[in-house]
Structure 1
Amino acid sequence: MGRLIRISRLRCLAPLAGLGILAAGCGGGVASQNSPPAAAAAPIVKAGSGPSFSVFRVAQDASIDYLDPGLTYGPEAENIIWNVYLPLLGYRHVNGAGGATIVPYLAKGMPTVTDGGRKYTLVLRKGLKYSNGQPVKATDFKATVERDFKLDSPGAGYFYNVVGSDTARTTKGGHISGIAADDATGRITITLNTPQGDFVNVLASEFAAPVPASASASDTSTHPLPATGPYVIQSYQP
């Protein structure tokens, strides 16, 4: 049986340079797909008084597993939520080989890697807000990864190399000591047990996309969480 998803574009979002994403009605131009990854992206801001955008509906006969970013693993759902929940890093929105390039999304820049490849430091862009107007905080990222373990998420395994994740893995919850977050500065520091060359890909996954720290540790597919991307899921009818 078909599933109906109602999606709308947020009313006032600044473009993320290098991603080819634009939210119109805010006076911005289309970001060039050839912009270098280092090009500074304007922060996502709270919906303002710009013009409304059309709501569109997606009907799919194929099975959707979840629309919760901490649980979804199937391509049907991924095709919907990748512009709804943005991670700290992500892939450039271009065709061809360039689409495999990782660039900053919610982070100000690419991570600084120290301690022989074991420590990753990132800083959130200033002024980030969820679609409900709530500020995006550095501690939301830490809580999001811890939520993955509480959910027994298929993506929790991506973080098994983070210091302290063994406890969260055993208890399905709790504090992960290897993730430190400072809301005052937006700084996020992740310490790994051993160097991991593909960890930037982990940070570009939906399982690393921040959601509010208050998010329930249960499936929220039918009550979608606030978005950080240019689109928001308004409703989902399984």
Structure 2
Amino acid sequence: MNKRTYTLATALVTTLTLAVTGCSGGGTSGGARNGKNPATSNSGAVLGGTPQKGGTLTVLSNQDFTHLDPARNWVMGDMDFGTRLLYRTLVTYKAEPGAKGGDLVPDLAEDLGVSSNGARTWTFKLKPGLKYEDGTPITSRDIKHNVERSFSPDLPGGPDYAARYLAGAEGYQGPAGGRHLASVKTPDDRTVVFELRTPFAEFPFAATLPTFAPVPPSQDKGPQYDNRPFSSGPYKIDSYARDKQLVLVRNTHWDPKTDRVRKAYPDRIVVTMGLKANQIDDRLIAATGPDASAVPWDKLRPESTPKVLTKPDIKARLLAESTSCTEMLQMHTGRAPFDDVRVRQAVQYALDREAVLTASGGPALNDPATALMPGFLFGGKQPDTLGIPLTGDVPKAKKLLEEAGKGGGFTTRITVSNGDKAVGEAIQQSLGRAGIKVTIETVDPSAFYDTIGDTKNRTDLVYTGWCPDYPSGSTFLPFVFDGRFIKEKGNSGNHSLFRDDATMKRMDEIAAMADAARAAEAWRELDGKILAKAPTAPVVVERKPLLIGTNIAGAFGHTSFGGQLDYATVGLKDPSKSAN
């Protein structure tokens, strides 16, 4: 099960307490995701030694990016890729494996921000000498511009911390027509000040998100910016053919003296898209020719696991960091029959989590979920809140359906990413035991979140998950269950469309607590209360199994990016052996 040490938990409480009093600078501990199984993976380790400068790193992918526009980028892998390679944020995470990957360090800013007014005001000073890919200076107004454009209805899907916390943000629709947020101030080219409507001691963690990357207004092309973000990081886009290939080359105006995180080892990074998942696995298992210098975008397929774990030389190239993301079956609570809590509870009891766990790669790469928030937010281990057997309780599910007037069962549909088809089939079979007949609809991963984010046209059931953006219940439960932030299109977290007044009132009460330890306990209590109302059924907490090529060095799964490779440090052992 997932583990989180008392030392790290105490460090986070200390960090938040200091933040309220205006402490700035230095790193803060948090976000450690352990739960490794050393018998099956190289979690917490850096594989391949220290990379050498040069060569071409190849990324083999079965999909395009969901979004690269920093105003819209809110998928773990995309955020990792974007913020480590293409654009920098005010604050970022250390490029280190294990617990240290949860430490914050300044990025564009000189420190972690200075708070005042009881953590309602946060001030950041940019480092001198920061430049874009064309050599023009990065200014505080560019940070303000990207924060403001993240409100635009034309740019849905991105992090909404700004909408939740900035003062006077209600009803704001972005900077079109010269409209600006008075709560984001830029008194000079290097200073940006955020005025919040409520105390937010965790704001430095939010400042790691792509919303707080710079976008110069002169380069902003609205929705088309997704195709060509303007670089403030170590690489810039050389070419981008959607669903086919993305090529990055060095940004010669990036100054490593201003950047203590990114190493930028490769000369080029080529993302090859549209490959079949089994093709990627087989190529990386063989690791011949250019594939020796390749890494995967997505996780190893469950079917390929035996080919890897039974061969020590291949297993030595496998990373499997815990994602600390809870995968859930989310139900449309605003649409019959799932507007009846008894029907939703019937789904919880009918679900065979053991079958889904097997379809996801088995116990070597997964843990069954018994609560909503991941274990580290409970101090180490998820509680078994409902006490439902792993294989389900079909008689109980049938009884609940009968009480809801659905004793004969009913038909419904589920949307899953096409990489989760086997998971969808396991859900289909387990719910079928209780008379719930499920039709599976698969969607390409790059379009998945846009599809399920269309709240009017989506299916009743969706299989998705949530990863805390940083180690706090405030970055899990409100984003998944606060009904006030549901959007008709681009809906990002609350895929059960759960609107419950008592839940939202309690969220506000917890958010206002100044005592971090008391708030953490309150989030844990609220987790159980929400689960009893059954907007969703938690299924598994996954790890991220990634098989790297034999010529890869500096590779590890980053705890704060859902176990994805940290692109800040990965490179090649011998650049001369890579593709041209």
The match for 2:252 is none
Question: How many residues were matched structurally?
Answer: 186
The match for 1:77 is 78
Report the TM-score, using the length of structure 1 for normalisation.
0.71
Deviations 1:125-161 (A, max 9, x none): 1111011111101111111101111244333521121
Among 220, 233, 237, the alignment partner of 1:233 is 237
Q: Does residue 213 in structure 1 map to residue 213 in structure 2?
A: no
Among 158, 163, 174, the alignment partner of 2:161 is 158
**Distance of 1:153 and 1:87 partners within structure 2:** 20
The match for 2:119 is 117
**Distance of 1:179 and 1:172 partners within structure 2:** 13
The match for 1:133 is 135
Structure 1 residues 152 and 92, CA, compared in 2 at 3 Å: closer, same or farther? same
Equivalent position amino acid for 1:209 in 2? A
**Distance of 1:61 and 1:194 partners within structure 2:** 42
Structure 1 residues 148 and 97, CA, compared in 2 at 3 Å: closer, same or farther? same
**Distance of 1:206 and 1:156 partners within structure 2:** 8
Q: CA deviation at 1:181?
A: 0.7
**Distance of 1:78 and 1:110 partners within structure 2:** 19
Q: CA deviation at 1:221?
A: 2.8
Q: CA deviation at 1:200?
A: 1.3
Unaligned residue ranges in structure 1 (runs of 5+): 1-35, 39-51
Q: Give the number of the structure whose alpha-carbon radius of gyration is greater.
A: 2
The match for 2:63 is 62
Structure 1 residues 164 and 219, CA, compared in 2 at 3 Å: closer, same or farther? farther
CA contact (8 A) 1:152 1:172 kept: no
CA contact (8 A) 1:165 1:176 kept: yes
The match for 1:198 is 202
**Distance of 2:67 and 2:102 partners within structure 1:** 25
Equivalent position amino acid for 2:203 in 1? F
Deviations 1:83-105 (A, max 9, x none): 21110101111111111111100
CA contact (8 A) 2:74 2:159 kept: no
Q: CA deviation at 1:237?
A: 1.3
CA contact (8 A) 2:88 2:107 kept: yes
**Percentage identity across paired residues of the two chains:** 27
Whichever structure has more helix as a proportion of its residues is: 2
Equivalent position amino acid for 2:160 in 1? G
**Distance of 2:101 and 2:75 partners within structure 1:** 20
Q: CA deviation at 1:236?
A: 1.5
